[in-house]
Amino acid sequence: MGSMRTFWLYSLARLGIIVAVGLVLFPFLGLNMLMAVSAIVIGALLSYLFLGNMRARVAADIEARVAKRAAEPKKRSADEAAEDRIVDERIGEDDHVSEDGDQNK
């Protein structure tokens, strides 16, 4: 399965559990903030208990994507290169002024 597909299935499963808990709580608590918060908390606990394997797969997929992105060299744009040159020139000017004995603020 693709990593994004696994992520979306996991997210939909969690949302489905929260909605299902909300539907069970609705007759007892009505439609109010207490019911919504209760559904979210109970749904989160149930998804932690029942969706452990899916959560582990999603975490592994995210970790692999982050590692792949970190391994790839960062592409620098022309703007970034120009900014780096300007900063380097200004640092060089600051070093030159401090060598002359002037104090930097």
Q: Are residues 8 and 48 in the same domain?
A: yes
Q: What is the number of domains present in the chain?
A: 2
Structural contact between residues 104 and 98, judged by C-beta atoms closer than 8 angstroms? yes
Q: Are residues 41 and 92 in the same domain?
A: no
Q: Which domain holds residue 88?
A: 76-105
Please count the residues of the chain. Answer: 105
Q: What is the pLDDT along the chain (105 residues), one digit of tens a residue?
A: 577 888 899 999 999 999 999 999 999 988 999 999 999 999 999 999 999 999 999 999 989 888 888 887 777 677 777 888 888 888 877 665 555 555 554
- φ/ψ of residue 31, rounded to 5: -95, 95
Q: Are residues 46 and 82 in the same domain?
A: no
Q: How far is CA 65 from the centre of its chain?
A: 12
Q: How far apart are CA 7 and CA 50, in angstroms?
A: 16
Q: Are residues 49 and 96 in the same domain?
A: no
Q: Are residues 80 and 68 in the same domain?
A: no
Q: Are residues 34 and 57 in the same domain?
A: yes
Q: Using CA atoms in the order 100, 98, 80, 72, what is the torsion angle rounded to 10 degrees? A: 120
